[in-house]
Amino acid sequence: MGKPYILLVEDNPDDIDLTIRAFERNRIANEVVVVRDGAQACDFLFSEAHTHTRGLPALILLDLNLPKVSGLEVLQQVRAHATTQLLPTVILTSSKQEEDLIRGYRLGVNSYVRKPVDFNAFVEAVRQVGLYWLVLNEPPPTAGAGGM
Amino acid sequence: MADAAIRPDLSLVLERITDGFFALDAQWRISYINAQARKLLHVRAECVGEFWLDVFPKARGRLFEREYHRAMRDQRPVQFVEYSETAELWFEVKAYPSPDGLSVYFRDVTSRIEAQREVERTTWRQQALIDFGRAALAGATYDQTLLDAIELLREILDASVVDLYHYDRSSGTFSIMRSEGWESGAWIDPHQPPLEHIAAVVRSGEPFVCSDLRIDPRARSLAQLERCGVLSCVATLIGTVQAPIGTIVAYNAQTRTFSVGDVRFVQSLSQSIAEFTSALESNRLMSEVLESIHDAFVAVDGDLRVTYVNRRMADYWGMTQSEIIGTRLSAYTATFESDGRVLGLYKEVLREGRALTFEDHNRERWHETRLYPFGNGVAAYVRDITARKNEQERVLELNAELERRVDERTTQLEVANKELESFAYSVSHDLRAPLRAIDGFSQAMLEDYGGGMDQRAKGYLDRVRRAAQRMADLIDALLQLSKVARAPMVFAPIDLSGIAGTVAAELGDSDSQRSVEVVIELGLTAHGEPHLMQIVLANLLGNAWKFTRHVERPQVYVGKNSEGEFYVRDNGAGFEMTYAGKLFGAFARLHPSDEYEGTGIGLATVARIIHRHGGSIRAQGVPGEGATFYFTLPAREP
């Protein structure tokens, strides 16, 4: 099993670059694996990841507006699968629409972060998320024990 | 053979008896006739020896002849009663035969026979009167009843002429109602009875009886009546002296002595006619009412036979009124009602004695029928309510149409709302992402390549970033505006003083360099949606905070005036009242954005919230002196 990595589910290339840049600015060394839509995310989590030597990611950063399969549907499947149901998942999105917040939490998201327009504020947000979920927070046991 | 001469002593006896007596010999010649017989038969003693039928020719062919021959043939006595035209009297006759001849005794029994006949006539008259009354009751027409009465008078009194006059009491004039028997050309004034004494009957109530008009001093128009061929008459009042209806006059072609029974008979007949007339009069009144009402009307008896039907109903049934009366109601209900229940409803009214109303649709018409128990039958009023029904249906259709349109409109609104929601959703997601890229990459450029840029280039990138941030704020404000327009309203008591205090504290925290004097009246309470009212106060206080930035001693006052308006007052920049109307529109700004930042949506949001509460909002301002925003909230939910 390799170093814990982050799965970034994001279709917008600008946001991908800015998010990775924010991680770099915060000197977060964990690898960021990017998938570009919800279908890819599911494929990765439910088949590829199992053959992957690294196993499941330590954290999923999930955008909501995704082609094919939406972020909330990905979340629903993640929580439905035995292997991924405890996986720390953070919604990282532009909107703070009430219905998104409610549905996200109802489906069992661990955290909901709105991407600020101000890049400096965004960098700060990414810093806190990384610090909290990768350093401060104790991961669920299955994430480690269940890893292949 | 009878003795030609009766012995003197016997003769004496025969002369004394009160019976009439005569004897016939074997050759049917009168051999003896006593004084009484001569007197009764108007013959003289000289007739003795003559053939009896030569003396009494009127006896030929009568019972007298037949019985006497039988007595002689059989040699047995006979006894009979017969009217003698010779004597114009009724005789009871006893005849005793012998081989020599016939002895005949007879006596006058006229008064006895008359009395008997009077009894018979009385019985006959009574029966006639009963029959007449029965026919009148059975619903004979007035005309028919009068004709029946006339017929009775002709039959029972041998009247040759009968006149029925109507008497109009108010004008005191007569008019002939019915007149039968006058020979043509013998017509008497139809507006006046021929004798003053007949006319007087309606005033006195006493019958006028005259057995021989030729010798009656009261009959002054004798010539006229005689010419008309009548010699006696009886006239009686129809009705009462108090309410006379008219008079009935029966004339006879012969002289006639009217018995008390005769007169009583005419009076009874008049009485029956009067009763029938007044019954008819009340019927006529009732009928006039029933004919004039707009409803169709039918009355039935306990056997559901029609006793009365008005014209309107008869027309609907396509028959005349007289054709319908007396027939069974079922014949019409079967044809003209939609189902069998109608007849059942009539029966129910008969059975329960309670009125009921029902509606019926048939032949493309709507009818409302009201049934009332009436006598021992049912009265039915039928009204055509087609127009009303159509109106009702039209109203129902209109309502349905209206409802359908409201539904349609609601659906359209729901669709529009859905679209607005998804629009807001997409704005929230998709419009912000490019802004983040603009800001993020501008920052990246500054960080990565800032070293090679002069201050001016860096300034441009800063402005790009500020513009992006401002647009992000605008998007958020717009989203809030659309949210307050759609948010569900959950009303609750609100502590406005408390909310204002919290908002002011937050403003103070976020801008700790400034010192703003905020005064909030205690006990400002209202009824409304707490979250939305929080947005209102945040915006109003936020504005006050913002626009007092350049004032030396900034003051903000939150309170309630004597008109019950809540207000937020500041001593800041104020505004020109000319532009007061523009304040509450979205994106409306009265100040340059580099002087007072803002989206221009805040007051639009406030106004939207107040209006959704059913309240109102207005603003007052003086440039350089400050602004006051007044708003009201209704005591109850709108």
Q: What is the pLDDT of residues B383-441, one digit of tens each?
A: 888 888 888 888 888 889 888 888 888 888 888 877 777 777 777 777 888 888 999 99
pLDDT in tens, B493-544: 999 999 999 999 999 888 888 889 999 999 999 999 998 999 999 999 999 9
In the predicted structure, residue B206 carries a pLDDT above the cut 80: yes
Rounded CA Rg of chain B: 61
- Structural element, H or E, at residue B382: strand B377-384
Residues B196 and B226 occupy one common structural domain: yes
Residues B353 and B407 occupy one common structural domain: no
Residues B298 and B269 occupy one common structural domain: no
Distance of CA B576 to the CA centre of its chain: 73
Residues B92 and B158 occupy one common structural domain: no
* Interatomic CA distance for residues B635 and B617, integer angstroms: 15
* Shortest Cα–Cα distance, A11 to chain B (Å): 11
* Shortest Cα–Cα distance, A75 to chain B (Å): 18
* Interatomic CA distance for residues B350 and B380, integer angstroms: 12
Is B343 buried (19+), middle (13-18) or exposed (0-12) by CB count in 10 A? middle
The answer to whether residue B2 sits within a structural domain is no
Q: What is the CATH number of the domain that holds B307?
A: 3.30.450.20
- Please give the share of chain B, as a percent, with pLDDT higher than 70: 94
Calculate the CA dihedral of residues B323, B327, B333, B336 and round it to 10 degrees.
-10
The answer to whether residue B637 sits within a structural domain is no
What pTM was estimated for this model as a whole? 0.46
The answer to whether residue B427 sits within a structural domain is yes
The answer to whether residue B193 sits within a structural domain is yes
The answer to whether residue B1 sits within a structural domain is no
Q: Retrieve residue B16's tokens.
A: 């004394």
Largest CA distance in chain A: 40
| Residue numbers in B near A21 (CB within 8 A) | 440, 444
Distances (CA, A) of A143 to A129, B27, B41: 18, 172, 164
The answer to whether residue B3 sits within a structural domain is no
* Interatomic CA distance for residues B303 and B350, integer angstroms: 10
pLDDT in tens, A30-84: 889 999 988 889 988 888 666 556 788 999 999 988 888 889 999 999 999 988 8
Residues B449 and B361 occupy one common structural domain: no
Q: Which of B428, B443, B468 sits opposite A94 (nearest CB)?
A: B428
- Structural element, H or E, at residue B81: strand B78-84
Of B286, B317, B344, the last residue of a domain is B286
β pairing state of B555-560 and B492-495? unpaired
Residues B75 and B119 occupy one common structural domain: no
Q: What is the CATH number of the domain that holds B234?
A: 3.30.450.40
Nearest to A119 by CA among B438, B472, B429: B438
Residues B135 and B62 occupy one common structural domain: no
| Residue numbers in B near A97 (CB within 8 A) | 424-425, 428-429
Q: How confident is the model at residue B1 (pLDDT cuts 50, 70, 90)?
A: very low
Other Cβ atoms closer than 10 A to B486: 12
Q: How confident is the model at residue B2 (pLDDT cuts 50, 70, 90)?
A: very low
What is B405-444 written as a DSSP string?
A: HHHHHHHHHHHHHHHHHHHHHHIIIIIHHHHHHHHHHHHH
For residue B83, the one-letter residue type is Y
Q: Do A119 and B444 touch (CB under 8 A)?
A: yes
Residues B77/B49, Cβ–Cβ less than 8 Å? no
Q: Which of A95, A118, A122 sits opposite B429 (nearest CB)?
A: A95
Residues B300 and B268 occupy one common structural domain: no
| Residue numbers in A near B436 (CB within 8 A) | 14-15, 18, 94, 115-117, 119, 122
Q: What is the CATH number of the domain that holds B608?
A: 3.30.565.10
Q: Which of A65, A97, A115 sits opposite B436 (nearest CB)?
A: A115
The answer to whether residue B261 sits within a structural domain is yes
In the predicted structure, residue B146 carries a pLDDT above the cut 70: yes
Number of domains in chain B: 5
pLDDT for the residue B337: 62
* Interatomic CA distance for residues B104 and B97, integer angstroms: 9
CB distance from A47 to chain B under 8 Å?
no
Q: Retrieve residue B395's tokens.
A: 């109203």
Going B517 to B522 to B524 to B525, the CA torsion angle's sign is positive
Nearest to B160 by CA among B177, B142, B183: B183
Residues B145 and B226 occupy one common structural domain: yes
Residue range of the domain that includes B276: 115-286
Angle formed by the axes of helices A71-80 and A98-106, nearest 10° = 10
Domains and CATH numbers, chain A: 6-138 (3.40.50.2300)
Give residue for tokens 């129902």: B396
In the predicted structure, residue A143 carries a pLDDT above the cut 60: no
Residues B233 and B125 occupy one common structural domain: yes
Q: Retrieve residue A83's tokens.
A: 């292997």
Rounded CA Rg of chain A: 14
Residues B452 and B595 occupy one common structural domain: no
| Residue numbers in B near A122 (CB within 8 A) | 436, 440
Calculate the CA dihedral of residues B357, B363, B365, B368 and round it to 10 degrees.
-10
Residues A71/A9, Cβ–Cβ less than 8 Å? yes
Is B303 buried (19+), middle (13-18) or exposed (0-12) by CB count in 10 A? exposed
CB distance from B443 to chain A under 8 Å?
yes
Nearest to B1 by CA among B34, B24, B33, B21: B24
Q: Do A18 and B472 touch (CB under 8 A)?
A: no
Of B352, B384, B416, the last residue of a domain is B384
Of B75, B108, B141, the last residue of a domain is B108
Q: Retrieve residue A66's tokens.
A: 């995704």
Q: Retrieve residue B102's tokens.
A: 């016939």
Q: Kindly identify which residue of chain A lies nearest to residue B434, measuring between CA atoms.
A: A14
pLDDT in tens, B87-134: 888 999 999 999 889 999 999 998 888 888 878 877 777 777 777 777
pLDDT for the residue B140: 66
- Structural element, H or E, at residue B321: helix B321-324
Lowest mean pLDDT among B175-179, B348-352, B583-587: B583-587
Residue B449 exposure: Cα atoms within 13 Å on the Cβ side: 8
| Residue numbers in A near B429 (CB within 8 A) | 64-65, 93-95, 97
The answer to whether residue B636 sits within a structural domain is no
For residue B423, the one-letter residue type is F
Residues B56 and B166 occupy one common structural domain: no
* Interatomic CA distance for residues B232 and B252, integer angstroms: 5
